[in-house]
Structures are given as C-alpha cells and as structure tokens.
Structure 1
Amino acid sequence: MARELVYTGFMSLDGVVDSPGGTEEGHRSGGWVMATEFLPEAFALKGEELADTTALLFGRRSYEAFAPFWRDSEDHAAYRELPKYVVSTGLSESALTEGWGPTEILRSTDDVAKLKQSAGGAIFIHGSAELARRLAAADLIDRYNLLVFPVLLGAGKSLFDRSDRDKRNLRLRESESFANGVTKLVYEIVR
C-alpha cells in the first residue's frame, strides 16, 4: 500500500497560497493569515497534522524558507527528527540546513513516486505550490488539508493548475467553518 501524500496549507478564497506569513515572502498583500482574527479552533487542524505526519516534503524555495525557522521553533519541535525530503534539481547537499534531522534531496517527480511506495505513513507537503501542481498533474497527491481564509488576493501563486485537463473528482472528508471566517476543508482525491 502506498504512503498517503497530503498537501496542507493556507489559501485565500480565490485559490492563492502566496505569502500567507508576510510581505517578505514576495506578495504585496503578504501576511494575510496574520491579518485574520486568531481563533485557536480555526488552527486545530495544524495540531492534528503534527500527530499524523511521518515525513515532510518541500520544494526548494519552501524548504529554504521553512528549515531555518522550523528547526528552532518549539511549535514545530515534533518535526525535528522526522525524515525530510526536498525536491530540487539544483540544490546541493551542502545547502541543507544543519541540525534539522535527516534530509534527502529528490531530483524528480519519479523520485517522489518511489518515495510514496516506500514503507511508512503520511507525507505532508507544506508551502511548495509549484511542486504541488506538478505532483497533482502526476496524480501523486492523495489529500488536500486546506484552511481557506476570507480574503481575495487576485494575483499570486495558485495551488491549482489553471491549464485544461481532465476532470478530477474530490470527496469531502471533513469541513468546518469558524467565527473568524476561516473554513477548514479536507478533500480526498477520488480514484
């Protein structure tokens, strides 16, 4: 049985996942997650994911953004010793963040497909919109854990490919709306 590959992230109502944490991430409206009223229950999904995660998968840019911060973050301490995988054709071993547990560089979508066939539990993708689009096109993503925020951003990185393709059906596994306007949506890919 293949390991489950789960994309998890924050998304605007119009599908943008760009720069939720701040303008330093590149989007002129960056920080839109922080501009929404904080309600612990709206973010409970993130705590649940910590318990389910057996490995982390990143694209190069997301890895370079998250690794130095998460390595030292007590909120992400559970991730320290988990296996981490970075999909990149150009990243070198010497560029990996020291002190953040085992990290392996994967060079292709085929390498991700092989990882899914290995022993172990769920692999979670954080950030990494471009990687998520490639993996979805290769039919490798099994589930989307989304927290949708009540904001329209227009331009920015989208989680979903906008090109013409065959229809893909999803099954709603879980949903919940919160007083701050955030909606939790957990969808499984129907195969």
Structure 2
Amino acid sequence: MRTLIITAFVSLDGVMEAPGGEEGYRNSGWTYQNVAFDPAAYELKGREQEEAAALLLGRRSYEAFAPIWPTMTDDFARYNELPKYVVSESLRNEDLVDDWGPIAILRSVEEVALLKETEGGPILVQGSGTLGHALADAGLVDRYHLLVFPLLLGAGKRLFSAADRDAQSLALVEHESYGNGIQKMIYDVVRS
C-alpha cells in the first residue's frame, strides 16, 4: 500500500491558507512576509520532491498550481515530471493543462483509497485543504509533513478538519527547530 502524505506550511494556530501569496485572503503571503528566510527550514521541501512518486491535489489547488508550476523548472523540476491526480467532481479532461506531465482525475475519496492500494511510492498532497480534511476524515492519511510558522493568523482555512470524530494518535518521527522560529514536525498516523 502506498503512503499518503499531507505536507503543509501552517501557522501555530492551524491556518494553512495562502502561505505563498494567493489572492483573496487578508494575510496572504504570510510565510515570506512575516518570518525571516532560513534555507535550512525548507530542506524538507527538497526531500519531498525527491521521495514523492505522485502528487494528489484538490481542484482549487490544481487550478492554482497548473498555470505556474510547469514554468518553474528550477524549483519544481521533479514535481513537473511526477504523475498528478486531481480529486474533483466537476473538472473535465479538457480542463487539464497539457504541459505538466501525466494528470488523471479522480472523482471521490473512494478512488483515492483505490489509488493507495496500487504499486508505487509515496503520494504527496500539496495545499488542498478541503481534500486534506476529507482524506483525514476517511482515515486515508498516513503521515503529516508540517512546517509550523511562529505566527497566529486567526481566521483562515485550517489544516485539520473540525469533524466530530474519534481521537487520532500521531507519532513524532522527526523534529527540528530553526533560528527563525519555524518548527519542522513529521508525524506518522498511528493505526490501532
């Protein structure tokens, strides 16, 4: 079974919305505007690119990344080569870009569960807050890669679902603190 990893920049109060500057959110760009840059804090992002075997995106994240990432050959060369899966009930094949490697549309969380049962390496979920909630609520997430920023943003989309569900234990498998206050935390989901 393939490992499904949610990776996120997140504020200390759990907000994941618009870390890089997407429009429509008043604190947009909070990762770069509010915290000093320390390249060591982003080592995880390079490692993820090398270890991932596929990308999984929700429709809105796909629509945000698809026009930009294919042109970023220095920063996202490996991601551009990977197979991509977009979970959407409304996206059509003719809506997909043709310069971003192989892309397939999945119509449900159940189809993601079937994808996890195939052969291959880790599946990385980038952005995709609504999808992340659905995957976690369905018990499909195996690991979290978090870069936690020393900020309280208040309002915004949260990394974790507000669904009323049983407690989920996590095991901290890697942690590092950086001089700019960012904390790297990698958690495995503990299955009973």
TM-score by length of 1: 0.97
* Runs of 5+ unmatched residues, structure 1: none
Contact 1:23 1:29 in 2 (8 A): no
Amino acid at match of 1:33: T
1:102-181 to structure 2, matched below 5 A, reads: 102-181=102-181
Contact 1:56 1:84 in 2 (8 A): yes
| Residue 33 of structure 2 corresponds to residue 62 of structure 1 | no
Q: Post-superposition shift, 1:147? A: 0.2
Distance 2:187 2:97 in 1: 32
Deviations 1:11-47 (A, max 9, x none): 00000000101151x2101110011111110110001
Structure 1 residue matching 2:6: 3-state secondary structure: strand
Deviations 1:131-154 (A, max 9, x none): 000000100000000000011111
Number of residue-to-residue matches in the alignment: 189
Deviations 1:45-83 (A, max 9, x none): 001111111000000000010111111102001112211
Distance 1:59 1:122 in 2: 17
Distance 1:187 1:53 in 2: 16
Q: Quick one: percent identity of the two aligned structures?
A: 54
Q: Post-superposition shift, 1:101? A: 0.4
Distance 2:27 2:131 in 1: 22
Correspondence for 1:183: 183
Q: Stretches of 4+ moved more than 4 A in 1?
A: none
Contact 2:137 2:163 in 1 (8 A): no
Deviations 1:115-141 (A, max 9, x none): 000110000000001000000010000
Correspondence for 2:29: 31
Bigger Cα displacement from structure 2, 126-135 vs 26-35: 26-35
Superposed CA RMSD in Å reads 0.8
TM-score by length of 2: 0.97
Structure 1 residue matching 2:56: 3-state secondary structure: strand
Q: Post-superposition shift, 1:161? A: 1.2
